[in-house]
A and B are shown apart, each in its own frame.
Chain A
Amino acid sequence: MLFSDSRKRKIVCTSTAETVGRVSGFVVDPALRRVVAVTVKKSQDGDTLAWPQISGFGPDAVTIAAPDDIGSADEAVAALLGKRHAVLRKQVLSSDGDRLGEVTDVDFDPETGAIEAVLVDGAPVDGARLIGVGSFAVVVKAAPDTP
């Protein structure tokens, strides 16, 4: 599933069947290479939904068990919030120090949150190559030499 497809997806509570918010963004932990939380807007309860609280990340809605699953970010997630750790639209450097392009989208597994691929100018780069996301660039492992 792509970041671009799932932004603005509604978040529905399965116990009350009400829409409790919308996905506004993704929090990525580059060390784990996975989405650890989504940021939420239009919710009364908070602005962050940690990945383990998500019951299902479906094509039409994100489901959660209780409305108060949405809360404020815990320490680990808060450290990864903000522009400095954003992935989208950031330039991509290889570990060899070459600019590869810009992140146009991210493909993730809706079951686990694992990053499957980072799309660099539209071309997929295997998520396993992701090394770091920092203030200057997203760093990916350099492709092995193709002779």
Chain B
Amino acid sequence: MTRLMRTSELTKRPVVTMAGDDIAQVKDIVYAADGGSVHGFTLAGRGLFAGPLSSVLPWSSVSALGADAVMVADESILADEGGFSGEGSSSDPARRDVLGSRVLTDTGTDLGQVVDVIVQVQGARDQCDVVGYEIESSEALDNAGQRVLMPLPDTMAASGEHLIVPASATKFVRHDLAGFGAAVDDFRQHLEGRD
């Protein structure tokens, strides 16, 4: 089963064990160094006055990412901050935060600003892929000022300032998550066909 979600919806989602206890909630999302997948989550305690937790939740320990909860086997899977091993999270501050970056085509057109990240989960134990961005579109697109969904290639160049996407990505823009998964597949197939 494949499902797509906006990462902005993930924050504050409870982390629940299979025994039914809520042990934490998602504070922030940590992306893998290449930005292509979710590496794990930082956590906060549950409740109004609970602060951030020092423990983190690596993606490998997530049993399922659902619409209402992040499911884990039990409490023991919470790792220390060292749980994100060196090959993982990017510490380069320029690449840490993709929100707010401008999306630029390889032909030099500014398509808009990133406002959200779309991830795709295939099933339990699978990678949590970053498949697209929600952008506030610029005049270059038909519906300037609106939010649109832009599929991403498997790999791309990114700095804190710009993200470079192929110009053909504009043909695969969608307006809602329904059907966006197919658009991502079409787009990636299109890129493979071109190379």
Contact = CB atoms under 8 A, between A and B. Distances in A.
B1 A98 contact: no
A145 B20 contact: no
A30 B21 CA distance: 13
A93 B16 CA distance: 9
B18 interface: yes
B153 interface: no
Contacts of B38: none
Given A136-B14, A145-B1, A97 B19 contact: no
Nearest to B74: A132
B5 to A, nearest CB: 11
A80 B21 CA distance: 13
A99 B68 contact: yes
A95 B71 contact: yes
B66 A138 contact: no
Interface in A103-147: 131-139, 142, 145
Contacts of B128: none
A96 interface: yes
Contacts, number: 73
Interface in B54-93: 63-71
Given A30-B19, A131-B18, A135-B22, A93 B68 contact: yes
A72 interface: no
Contacts of B66: 93-94, 96-98
Nearest to A99: B68
Interface in A36-59: none
Contacts of B64: 95-97, 142
Nearest to B68: A99
B17 interface: yes
Contacts of B70: 97
Nearest to A91: B68
Residue in A134, A138, A145 with the greatest tally of chain B CB atoms within 10 Å: A134
Interface residues of B, number: 19
A22 B65 CA distance: 43
Contacts of B21: 132, 134-136
A51 B68 CA distance: 35
Contacts of B124: 96
Contacts of A134: 16-17, 19-22
Interface of B: 1, 14, 16-22, 63-71, 124
Given A30-B20, A95-B18, A142-B64, 20 more contacts: A90-B20, A95-B63, A96-B1, A97-B16, A97-B69, A98-B68, A98-B69, A131-B19, A132-B17, A132-B19, A132-B20, A132-B21, A133-B20, A134-B21, A136-B20, A137-B20, A137-B22, A139-B18, A139-B19, A139-B71
30 contacts: A30-B19, A90-B20, A93-B16, A93-B68, A94-B66, A95-B64, A95-B71, A96-B71, A97-B16, A97-B64, A97-B66, A98-B66, A131-B18, A131-B20, A132-B17, A132-B20, A134-B16, A134-B17, A134-B20, A134-B21, A135-B21, A136-B21, A136-B22, A136-B69, A137-B22, A138-B20, A139-B16, A139-B17, A142-B64, A145-B1
